[in-house]
Amino acid sequence: MLIRQASAADNLKLLDFQAQRAMQGGLPMRFDRGPDYFALHHCHAADHRTWMAEGEGGELKGIASLVVREGYLQERIQPVAYLGDLRLVPDRRLSKSWMAEVKVRLAALADETGVQHAYCCVIRSNRLAAHSLLGGRRANPLMLSHWRGYSNVAVYGQRGWGSAPRTVENVRIVQAQPRHADALRAFLDRESAGQPFGSVFSEAQFSRRLETWPDFGIESFLLAVDAQDNLLGCVAPWDAGRIKRVVLEKLPLSHQALRLAFNACAPALGRPAIAAPGEALQDIYLTHLQVRERNPQIFAALLDVAWARLRGWYALMQLCLYDNDPLWTAMNRYRSVSVPMDLYTAPCVSSAPALALDAGRIPGFEIYLV
């Protein structure tokens, strides 16, 4: 087996491999990252690397990616890494070699960039991935530590008919304008600083997002502001379809029945249909979701305005909510399907300082960049 770093010349090979390797679980899914496999990583950070495991005939057998950026961790800014796109053909000997290689790459990354800690996510019901990463005779080869559970929530409908958006006294929901940019950046950075692995929203990094992400800009943001125009919360709906699409390979019978029933009513409701298995979902992400003190009333107001704007264009509105997250209470108005996930942290080297992550603090994690 040959393990090497991927280049732009490997783009089609990587896309084809991902298309054939769905993530298993209750809802087997894959990401269609065409036309450019590397585009999503580039949205995450400028520093990203992907490794490939190839057989003797050049066939691709496994991939893994590392994205390096600045993050808030242990009360300071330091380089952190996201470990993603872990895909491997079923092979016990290959799995052993691959995990050993990932450890070597993490250690090399630490030497090169100073990264001490990485994080990753796993579908909770994906037993194969959990066994590969945590179980078996090579128990926990990457020394992963469970960080926090969360759910990828896909909203497809609203309970009730014609409900007016929920409001909060002396709070307005407005669309961001260029004049809001400085205050918005400062708000995002302040909130992110209190979240382990939170992104650093420096002027340069915020400008980079606005310029690099396709179909995204300052006007993408919805802001919750008080009577003095102080920011209380924000969210930025983002259609990542130009660089990433979610494809469900198979639906349980209950979900398939729900899809058929929804699609029968969709034209009368002015809603797009939910895609069939094997087709890309017509969805949009609620990105940059930050609410001061995790106030569910502020979140409800933002959520309702976002839904009113998006419901006629997208079948699903996707967001991330954590286990025991106060924001869950705002979801009682909506019908949704959730995929439980888990976040893990990993030391890049055995000498990395121990992480003591407060279980009550919201992670600095962005599902739309996974």
Q: Tell me, what's the pLDDT at 132?
A: 73
Q: What are the tens digits of pLDDT across the range 279-337?
A: 999 999 999 999 999 999 999 999 999 999 999 999 999 999 999 999 999 999 999 99
Tell me whether residue 71 is in a domain.
yes
Calpha distance 285→317 (Å, rounded): 6
Tell me whether residue 342 is in a domain.
no
Q: What is the mean pLDDT of the chain?
A: 94
CA distances from 313 to 258, 269, 274 (A): 19, 12, 12
pLDDT of residue 348 exceeding 70: yes
Tell me whether residue 24 is in a domain.
yes
CA distances from 133 to 25, 34, 95, 189, 267 (A): 15, 27, 10, 32, 44
Tell me whether residue 299 is in a domain.
no
Q: How many independent structural domains does the chain possess? A: 1
**DSSP secondary structure letters along 248-292:** ES---HHHHHHHHHHHHHHHHHT-PPPPPTTSB--EEEEEEEEEG
Calpha distance 345→177 (Å, rounded): 37
φ, ψ of residue 209 in degrees (nearest 5)? -65, -45
Tell me whether residue 186 is in a domain.
no
CATH of the domain at 141: 3.40.630.30
Question: Looking at residues 87-111, what average pLDDT do you find?
Answer: 87
* DSSP three-state, residue 193: helix
Distance between alpha carbon 282 and the CA centroid of its chain, in Å?
A: 17
Q: What are the tens digits of pLDDT across the range 134-157?
A: 765 557 889 999 999 999 999 999
Q: Tell me, what's the pLDDT at 352?
A: 92
Question: Looking at residues 201-209, what average pLDDT do you find?
Answer: 98
> 151: which residues sit within 8 A by CB, 6+ positions away?
320, 321, 322, 323, 338, 339, 340, 341
pLDDT of residue 85 exceeding 60: yes
Q: What are the tens digits of pLDDT across the range 27-48?
A: 889 999 999 999 999 999 999 9
Question: Looking at residues 113-136, what average pLDDT do you find?
Answer: 85
Tell me whether residue 132 is in a domain.
yes
> 111: which residues sit within 8 A by CB, 6+ positions away?
none
Which band of pLDDT confidence, cut at 50, 70 and 90, is reported for residue 114? very high
Give the range of the structural domain holding residue 27, as residue numbers without chain letter.
Answer: 2-150
Tell me whether residue 63 is in a domain.
yes
Tell me whether residue 52 is in a domain.
yes
Which band of pLDDT confidence, cut at 50, 70 and 90, is reported for residue 101? confident
User: What is the Cα Rg of the chain in Å?
Assistant: 21
